[in-house]
Amino acid sequence: MRHRSSLIASAIAIAGASSTIQVQADPVELGEIVVSATGHKQETLQAPASIGVIDRSDIESHSYRDITDVIQDLPGVVVSGGGSRKDISIRGLPAKYTLLMVDGRKVSGRESQPNGSSGLEQGWLPPLETIE
């Protein structure tokens, strides 16, 4: 009887693990990326600053490798370093003053790049907006 109970428990655990693996394999759709000096999103016409926007067609017409390739084409944005050591500065301010967020979550800075990656993959990039 004990052997049968442990077999049933094992079967349930394996079935649960396989459904968890399936959930993790689903692609994640990310929203808009906002690079902002004000710390919040604003409409382009309402912002008291210069604003640059890159949309999906701009991204698809270039051979960008990651997010840093995309934003370095914006006026006033400088990407320095290489590999997993890239820094983004806007209008001459050091990289420590630059905040990049996706769906309200911080993604800029080396500490937020998993496994030392050099940025975010190009394939999922939504429209970009910088507010300086």
The reply to whether 113 falls in a domain is: yes
More confident residue, 111 or 52: 52
The reply to whether 48 falls in a domain is: yes
Residue range of the domain that includes 65: 29-131
More confident residue, 61 or 27: 61
Task: Identify the CATH number of the domain in which residue 35 sits.
Answer: 2.170.130.10
More confident residue, 71 or 33: 71
Confidence of residue 114 (pLDDT cuts 50, 70, 90): very low
The reply to whether 21 falls in a domain is: no
The reply to whether 115 falls in a domain is: yes
pLDDT at 89: 81
Bridge pairing between strands 128-131 and 33-36: parallel
pLDDT tens-digit map of 71-88: 887 888 888 877 667 777
